[in-house]
Amino acid sequence: MEMIADILLVAGALGAGFYCFILARRLTRFTDLENGVGGAVAVLSAQVDDLTKTLHAAQATAGDSSRSLQDLTDRAEDVARRLELLVASMHDLPQANGAAPAEGADPVFVRHSRN
């Protein structure tokens, strides 16, 4: 009986050793940096780094564009205000049928009726 138990124990140990050997080979292939998942993880890590750099560059460019657009908008609003004042002052001029006003004439303010 002891002999059968020893044989089964040795067979179990050999089976476990063979199973560990197979698992070690599979794990080595799995983590290979050129063909396995390790290579895929390395490639994805490099791509994430590149995308992070690109994202930071895009954010900086967007910030610069936003500031430039804000400056242009402020300038356009100032010009629009000046144009509104010019147009408003043009409404106060009399209609002279194309003739220039006399030099000594006092300014005449005409209010247009709203239709």
Write out pLDDT tens, residues 25-47: 988 887 776 777 777 888 899 99
Domain range enclosing 14: 1-30
Whether 108 maps to a domain, the answer reads no
Residue 104 is assigned to a structural domain of this protein = no
Query: How much is the pLDDT for 3?
Result: 93
Residue % of the chain over a pLDDT of 90: 56
C-alpha 60/C-alpha 56 separation (Å) is 6
**How many domains does the chain contain in total?**
2
Residues with Cβ within 8 Å of residue 30, at least 6 apart in sequence: 36, 37, 38
pTM across the whole model: 0.46
Residue 112: is its pLDDT beyond 80? Answer: no
Task: Read off the pLDDT of each residue in 12-19 and give the average, rounded to a whole number.
Answer: 96
Residue 60 lies in a domain: yes
Which pLDDT belongs to residue 63?
A: 94
**25 and 66 within one domain:** no
Q: Are 64 and 77 contained in the same domain?
A: yes
pLDDT at 74 > cutoff 60: yes
